[in-house]
Chain A
């Protein structure tokens, strides 16, 4: 089974059933060393259930979870969970603290629980808190902390025992933009330190900014797992945003007709009713669907300049792309699951 030294986590036919309901169904997934894998899915898709199975808080109905520790990839069982999970740090769901305790007390307790060398615990706690710039809060009671600060301490609690793998379930939910940015930067810092991160989120922008690979789950089934670029190529669908200098000098209807005439033949998409240039009145941004191929992107870019448009900005925003891919994939998979169910009912009849 252990044929790739880089694999740190492997889900093999991972399944969890509650009664007759499949919360997670036959998931196969491999996460390699140093990767950030974003785990996406609508509410109730099975993200948290998957993470809880990994934490051995839920026992899989079928299938296996393999985790690497000390160079060896081993199947997670009741017997070796202490040993294997020592190499994993978890932050599952919203963390809540004993509010009359300080970060030092709580993090020291957690580091001790996970077997971190006792004489080094004090320094380690100070080190992880420092990573988030919360050193001056180390000895203050958590009841005085903001939501963002609590979430950061929650992430500190996941890494205080210095694991190779960090599993974060919705770490940025409910945070203000500044705190979200801090968490995002911190996750990237962890990656730079060689950590492997498995991260679920509803915030597509956050995932698109940091994830090397995206895993999309819907109704318990893994419907996509690849890099964002590869998903884009597979879907043959992406979006270009561009802004023109002083759009007020144009008649908007005429301008859109002209842009459509120039750009649409270059998008690489045929026979699609959505294949036309759009304009956002508020942001003054034009949106062009295209097939995601860089060559087409370049052709559109050149065509705009060739036709003397004053292009201020031209980009392919990953967040929009991910959102569009996510919605398409979820819709497709939901339709497929429904048609499979109908087929079963018809066969049954």
Chain B
């Protein structure tokens, strides 16, 4: 046998030996490979979103700077100054979450890319890899925003409240919960555009209407079943209000009619509520995903 043949044979055997590594190792490497691939695929979207986050931060900063230039003093408390940066933050989270999550399932059915992906990888591993990678990118955006806020606050006040970290933690948790909602939408909608649009409409309009109805009907029920209600804890956790609701007089009935408005969930309520939402929505999304796969095939 020639040297070349022996070398070729050895290489072939090596390939076969290495290929045999299956089971949990294959499971994990497929997930990490998917994470890497998704990072590359969504890189451009990430850069665009990074610019959007920076633009919104700059806009808030500009407003403060213009106010200062006009002689209006900055808020006395650092917390109040930081709160000024949360005006569009909820909207930013919704947009980036919908952008990263909308295509997560629907895209493979819409573009038929699933024909190539399966059976090279199972649905569950693909979904886990995608959820991790896209949530990670979303989380980086959130952390980036907080870092910008922290830098400018520290520059202006020379100190940072301890609760800023709590707020960031809640923001990351809330983003994950919204993300699972968008994944669920992606599992039941035919196209990624539909998943994105329906999610944004529900977050911005649908859930707010339900919250308004609850308030106006004066049921007094804390809207823990409304996903967007949990956004309030991001800002509230900087300085938790007590009580967590306020009573306001407004509307055509005059001052004698009081409406109870919930300001924020409690920390335990938020933790349990968002955990439940996340788990249930992910399970439901996976169930529809699996079902959709069979139906399509």
Contact = CB atoms under 8 A, between A and B. Distances in A.
Contacts of A109: 33-34, 37
Interface residue tally on B, bucketed by range: 20 to 34
A90 B15 CA distance: 19
Interface string A35-59: 0000000000000000010011110
B121 A93 contact: no
Contact of A55 (B19, B21, B41, B119): B119
Contacts of B120: 90, 110, 113-114, 157
Contacts of B121: 113
A82 B29 contact: no
Contacts of B22: 82-83, 86, 115
Interface string B150-180: 0000000000000000000000000000000
B29 A112 contact: yes
B178 to A, nearest CB: 25
A115 B294 contact: no
A255 B171 CA distance: 90
A109 B117 CA distance: 10
A128 interface: no
Interface stretch (A97-105, A175-183, A203-211): A97-105
Contact of B297 (A52, A86, A112): A52
A117 B23 CA distance: 16
Interface residue tally on A, bucketed by range: 35 or more
A105 B115 contact: no
Given A81-B119, A92-B115, A94-B112, A115 B19 contact: yes
Contacts of B266: none
A117 B30 contact: no
Given A90-B119, A105-B40, A110-B120, A115 B112 contact: no
Nearest to B18: A117
Given A101-B41, A109-B37, A115-B18, A58 B116 contact: no
A94 B111 CA distance: 11
Interface string A107-140: 0011011111100100000000000000000000
A216 interface: no
Contacts of A117: 14-15, 18-19
Given A109-B33, A109-B37, A56 B119 contact: yes
B26 interface: yes
B69 interface: no
A34 interface: no
A174 interface: no
Interface string B250-268: 0000000000000000000
Contacts of A95: 112, 115-116
Nearest to B17: A117
A307 interface: no
16 contacts: A55-B119, A58-B294, A70-B20, A86-B19, A91-B116, A95-B115, A98-B41, A105-B37, A112-B29, A115-B19, A115-B21, A115-B22, A116-B19, A117-B14, A120-B15, A157-B116
Interface of B: 11, 14-16, 18-23, 26, 29-30, 33-34, 37, 40-41, 44, 111-113, 115-116, 118-121, 293-294, 297
Given A95-B115, A96-B115, A157-B120, 16 more contacts: A52-B297, A57-B118, A83-B22, A86-B19, A91-B116, A94-B115, A96-B112, A100-B41, A109-B33, A109-B34, A110-B120, A115-B19, A116-B19, A117-B19, A120-B15, A161-B19
